[in-house]
């Protein structure tokens, strides 16, 4: 029985296009160019941040992010960034008795923005707050603590096999691969996502799976 649902953030709950648009403008390159480079590195199995290093090989991403924030270009997450099924699906999960938590690779500032949306969840945590990022097993150990139940009673939902599906399974959790965003579509139906217990096209599908 599933008693808790833990969800990734980027391209699971929110669209990432605004974040990358800010980076493209900051680096003074066309947005389409950065989008294409992100697609290329992801298809090679590399982290999407590697796209920034293709543009500027010596880039210090943390320092650039700090400079962007100092310039008033800090990341923003609003209701408009949520996928349409997020709020109703999360509400339905909680109504069914599930514990619902959000835990993804995001900054501490993003955690504050997510909490400000007042989503129908029990807990929100980010890698920036924990000082540990996916796919590190310690991240998923923290997810287990946050979910507060046995590993096989938790389903972790995300779009990326290397960051979500595979490490969640290694931690003893159930996993759902979400066919959403560039990564979710790219890896759908591949050997990399074969370990997932479920393959979803919408968070509404998750409600049906998680309801006893």
72-83 average pLDDT score? 88
Would you state the pLDDT for residue 140?
98
Residue 157 has pLDDT above 80, yes or no: yes
pLDDT digits (tens, 9 = 90+) for 101-130: 999 999 898 999 999 999 999 999 999 999
Q: Which of 144, 137, 139, 193 is nearest to 170 (CA)?
A: 137
Top pLDDT among 175 and 209 is at 175
Question: For residue 133, is pLDDT > 90?
Answer: yes
Task: Give tens-digit pLDDT for 24-61.
Answer: 999 999 999 999 998 888 888 788 889 999 999 999 99
Alpha carbons 207 and 191: distance in angstroms, whole number: 25
Task: Report d(CA 95, CA 135) in Å as an integer.
Answer: 30
Give residue 44's pLDDT: 83
Reported as a pLDDT band with limits 50, 70 and 90, residue 211 is: low
**Taking 70 as the threshold, does the pLDDT of residue 152 lie above it?**
yes
Helix (H) or strand (E) holding 128: helix 127-130
Name beta bridge partners: 199.
Answer: 177
CATH fold label, 4-15+78-210? Rossmann fold (3.40.50)
Residue 198, SS3? strand
* Residue 185: strand, helix, or coil: helix
Does the pLDDT of residue 212 top 90, yes or no?
no
The average confidence (pLDDT) of the chain is 92
**pLDDT-based confidence at residue 207 (cuts at 50, 70, 90):** confident
- Helix, strand or coil for residue 103? strand
Q: Is the pLDDT of residue 21 over 70?
A: yes
Q: Please, where in the chain does CATH 3.40.50.1000 lie?
A: 4-15+78-210
């Amino acid at each position: 029985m599933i008693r808790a649902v833990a969800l990734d953030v980027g391209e699971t709950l929110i669209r990432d296009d605004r974040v990358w648009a800010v980076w493209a403008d900051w680096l003074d390159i066309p947005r389409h160019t950065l989008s294409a480079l992100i697609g290329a590195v992801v298809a090679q199995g590399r982290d999407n941040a590697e796209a920034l290093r293709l543009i500027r090989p010596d880039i210090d991403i943390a320092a650039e992010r700090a400079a962007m924030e100092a310039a008033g270009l800090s990341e923003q997450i609003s209701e408009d960034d949520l996928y349409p099924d997020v709020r109703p699906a999360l509400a339905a999960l909680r109504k069914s008795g599930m514990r619902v938590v959000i835990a993804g690779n995001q900054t501490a500032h993003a955690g504050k923005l997510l909490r400000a949306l007042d989503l129908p969840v029990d807990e929100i945590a980010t890698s920036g707050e924990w000082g540990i990022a996916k796919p590190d097993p310690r991240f998923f150990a923290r997810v287990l603590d946050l979910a507060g139940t046995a590993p096989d009673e938790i389903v972790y939902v995300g779009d990326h096999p290397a960051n979500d599906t595979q490490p969640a399974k290694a931690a003893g959790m159930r996993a759902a691969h979400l066919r959403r965003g560039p990564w979710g579509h790219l890896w759908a139906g591949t050997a990399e996502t074969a370990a997932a217990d479920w393959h979803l096209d919408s968070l509404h599908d998750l409600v049906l799976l998680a309801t006893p």
